[in-house]
Structure 1
Amino acid sequence: MRLDVLVSWAVTTVCTLSFFVIGASVLHPQGLVPTGNEVISTLARMYTDTLGPWAERLFVVAAFVILLSTVLAVGAGDPRLWSNVLGILGVIDFYDARQRQRCIRVLSAAIPSLWAASYLVIQSPVLMLQIGGTASAIFLVAIVVAVWRLRLTEVAPEFRRDHLVHGGGGTRTQ
């Protein structure tokens, strides 16, 4: 699993950096900055200016697929995550399957509705991406801290990485 995570991280990083380099090399010399509701059409210029007008359709389809897959993944995961948080905080009884399922269903409708309402108020996809990215970064730090704490306090010694690597009672040898 560590190899899977490392390879996924490497591929994602290389693809993201490639996208940034392409965008900077094509859009910056023209003074184009993705803003407002023209984000997709501005970003499509990265490909239409180099490959031709046909690339815009391909880019729009690819952007739709990427955004749809993100919405579906987050739409499935976030309600479960937040119902778990509500269970930990004592707002719901997480071990009551009916109550948990009801919470997940309510959040499955509420969260996308909140996204849509946010867009209607903010009306700036770029600003929404910045807000979401900042919130995700803060949330990921909290996840890292929680995982690190759980790793140290909840994982049986025989399953800890240092035990597997060094063989023994979980202490590192020099």
Structure 2
Amino acid sequence: MIPRTVIESTPFAAGRFEVDEDGWVTIKLSPDFFNDRLAAQAILAHEACHYILENSGIRQRDFALNERYTDLCMFICGFGQVFLAGYKRAPAQNQYRPGHRLGYLTDAEYNFANQYVLDLRESYKLKLQSQLDTRKQRLLKLVYGDAATVTRLVNYERSRNPNMSELELYDAAIERLQRDR
């Protein structure tokens, strides 16, 4: 079920995730943060991760541990930059714009989690094959490993469509081969 989001006072909390007895989810955002867009987004990122973890069956009995898992989930789910942009403000010198600090991890832990996930994503990208390499392998498999046939099919497509990219040539060759079978 899609969570309902409301602006409502949440004592001692910037946001709150609640599930009622019927399974309906409400995410509450304190009005204290409503006018600070970056802080509101950071709070919503955290509360959305409660929803994600809850639906995945990942919930700890220990409140503090559950909150720390939720904070880490934000980075895994791609909300890290959103959270970091709004989770803290330096206290202002006047009473009208107080500072804040949201979350359950230390600044060092947030920075570590952010960098760790970014590094993992970068290493994963390096391991992924390009679309062209994927098409080359697919075409080679379709012609039972005959590299000469691959070359002939791609050259044929190139002669018919000289302005096509390599990727488009392989796609056309695969399509023609499958259609002619």
With normalisation by structure 1, the TM-score equals 0.28
Of Structure 1 and Structure 2, which has the larger fraction of its residues in helix? 1
With normalisation by structure 2, the TM-score equals 0.27
Structure (1 or 2) with the larger CA radius of gyration: 2
